Amino acid sequence: MIEKELPEEQEEEEEEEDQESISLSKRFNRRQLIINFIFSYAPQLSSLLILAGYLAGFILPTDLLSRSTYLSENAILPGQVNTYWSWAQVHKADRYADLLDEWRDLPSEQRASHIAALFQGFGLRSQTQSYTFSSLGSQVHSISNGTNVHAILHAPRVDGSEALVLMASWLTRRPGSDIHGGDINLRGVASVLALAEYLISFNLWSKDIIFLIADEYLEGTHAWLKAYHGLSQPNLKMQPLDLKTGSIWAALNIDFPFHSFSHIGIDYEGINGQLPNLDLINTVSHIVRWTGSCPVTMHHEPLEPSYPSYLPDHPEVQKYIQAGRTIVKQMSHGLVGSPSGPEGLFSTYRIDAIALFAHPADGPHGFHTIGNIVESSLRSLNNLLERLHQSFFLYLLQSEARFLSVAMYLIVPLLIGVGLTIRGLAKWGATVKDWNSLSPSEGHQNQNSNSFEKRPVTDQRGNEKGAEILWSLRVAGITHLVGAMIYLGLIRSIEPTHAKESVQLYVSILIFAILPLAIIKLLPPRRVSSVAIFEPIQLMLSGCFISVISVLNFPLGTGIGFALSIHPLVLLFSLLALALFGHLDISKLVHLFRNDQVLDAWFLPFVAILFLPLFVQSLLVRLLKAFY
């Protein structure tokens, strides 16, 4: 019986193995059919994906992908407190504004000393900090210099391990908007002074409050943050800060240049596309609307924006245009890596910060409104038991009431990146197929005549394939290496204030312009298939970089994706036409070099080391096809 059962068990095991092998075979065949289908229609599929990426960008301003904003952090309780800011404090703020107006032409050191004396008169410890930014190309040449001043309100019953920042920069984000047509953030600074004197009378604070008056616009805040966190920068000389407190959780920047305002605009973009936690924006916008009884918009948008006359006068169309403007504004900051203002510099240190911009107008709001808004906002942030973390850090805002999460908008660059990758894989497959069918004696290049002729070979086919792949990788590596050398050796040495007259700028442009021809002349391909295999490598590199960069910085990744998915000659002629006929003033590039050397923005290194080499590779593919 035992002998009979053993063969039966073996037969059952063999049947199970046969079924598993059949299942695996079917699965493999299905997978092979899918792969063959994808490769058969890869050109159409890649073009369809890229086109879908373009179209998805036009869907972003609609309500199809967005949702209403909401608070995720229950401890904030926005607008749930009684504020005590009164007209007596408004009178003091007016007095400080008049005093600051008298100091507007004083040297920064003297002005900072006067402000520090005011803080000390309130009973607060204060300190001034001088700084100087120099050009990386010349440590002698100064880009900017100034003097900051800050004071600290120590919370009475805590250990000083947590802090909030209330700040104002000396210069406003809208030049020519102060009461004398100048650039001074007069009432923003006066608001900080009046609030410092007012808030010291409360004993309810669970976090220290730092009052910061930063000199200039961005530079003063950047130098102060570097010193506060004990960091250094090669081209920055600054006084160390002896007066410090705990870790900063959040910051509010007041930008109030005119005597009154019509509504509040919230600016929130950080450096290199970083954003504050969405709960901070939602909290302050709620307080502005309900506690301050003041309209609120994103950025500098007017309450009643104008629309092109050729568009239909329909609410949905106007809503779409307005949402598109807000998204484009946010993406323009992220693309070039420029912060929306001093508040954007805090994002580097994992500090959530936004700005309250008081839109200049003849009323009806003034110091009374701004004081109530700031007091209520600080008291809401004072309730936090931990850093803001429950809401989104990656988002696109359509307005103060609607937003898109990262899962919704990231589809735009990913579709483009996947489309380019599939196109590269399809061309790789076609090249390998042609490659294997090529006889060993075909396709070798006569280096002297630049023509292809039959020539006996002794190398093995595998070695030839490896050499051709190595040539493609070498060319790609050379373009990126040249880009890195140009950035580190030339672009970083440009003095921002003299960028238009800089020889290094034009030498950099010239090198990139002649690089494709130089590669063809000095490092020509050995075989026809070498030219064909270089294109899929370039496409796959482009698709990979677009997808990765989009996660780190969505606007930058999307911009690179749009640029690399266009035919390089079309993009080149478009840029030339813009430069020649679009009145492109190269002096406007000064702020890009300034952000690079002062703020360590990503835009110029990404353009020089990543985008332009990929563009050169794409252009090189077209030239090789034409010449060979």
Strand partners, 404: 396
pLDDT at 451 over 60: no
pLDDT at residue 446 in the model: 43
Average pLDDT over residues 385-391: 93
Helices (H), 267-342: 278-290, 315-336
Q: Are 257 and 188 in contact (CB under 8 A)?
A: yes
Closest CA to 622 of 522, 473, 517: 517
pLDDT tens-digit series, residues 41-72: 888 899 999 999 999 999 999 999 999 999 99
CA distance 591 to 604: 11
Average pLDDT over residues 218-238: 95
Question: According to the model, what pLDDT value does residue 270 have?
Answer: 95
Listed residue (146, 214, 211) closest to 185, CA to CA: 214
Residue type present at position 188: G
Cβ neighbors of 604 (< 8 A, separation 6 or more) are 487, 491, 592, 593, 596
Higher pLDDT, 250 or 307: 250
Quote the mean pLDDT of the chain.
88
Q: pLDDT class for 376, splitting at 50, 70, 90? A: very high
How would you classify the pairing of strands 208-214 and 261-267?
unpaired
- Determine what percent of the chain is predicted with pLDDT higher than 90: 65
- What distance in Å separates the CA atoms of residue 264 and residue 601, rounded to the nearest whole number? 28
| Domain 70-303+315-385+392-400 fold | Aminopeptidase (3.40.630)
Mean pLDDT on 486-503: 87
- For β-strands 236-238 and 261-267, DSSP reports them as unpaired
- 588-604 tens-digit pLDDT: 678 889 899 999 899 99
Q: In the Cβ-directed half-sphere of 584, how many Cα atoms lie within 13 Å? A: 11
The single-letter DSSP state of residue 611 is I
- As a whole number, mean pLDDT of residues 127-154 equals 88
What are the residue boundaries of the structural domains of the chain, listed by start?
A: 2-40, 45-59+411-452+460-627, 70-303+315-385+392-400
In what helix (H) or strand (E) does residue 402 lie, and over which residues does it extend?
strand 402-405
List the 247-255 sheet strands across, edge first: 236-238, 125-134, 142-153, 208-214, 162-169, 247-255, 352-360, 261-267, 296-298
| Out of 13-22, 285-294, 313-322, 523-532, least confident range | 13-22
This prediction's pTM: 0.89
pLDDT of 454 reads: 43
Give me 628's structure tokens. 């060979």
Strand 296-298 relative to strand 208-214: parallel, antiparallel, unpaired? unpaired
What pLDDT, on the 0 to 100 scale, is given for residue 499?
Answer: 81
CA distance 366 to 86: 12
Lowest-pLDDT choice from 194-198, 277-281, 361-365: 361-365
In the predicted model, what is the mean pLDDT of residues 378-405? 95
**pLDDT average, residue stretch 259-271:** 96
**Type and span of the H or E element at 209:** strand 208-214
- Token look-up 């301003």 returns 61
- For residue 462, name the pLDDT band (cuts at 50, 70, 90): low
**From 38-42, 423-427, 461-465, the region with the lowest mean pLDDT:** 461-465
The rounded distance, in Å, linking the Cα atoms of 560 and 1 is 75
Structure tokens of 356? 């309250």
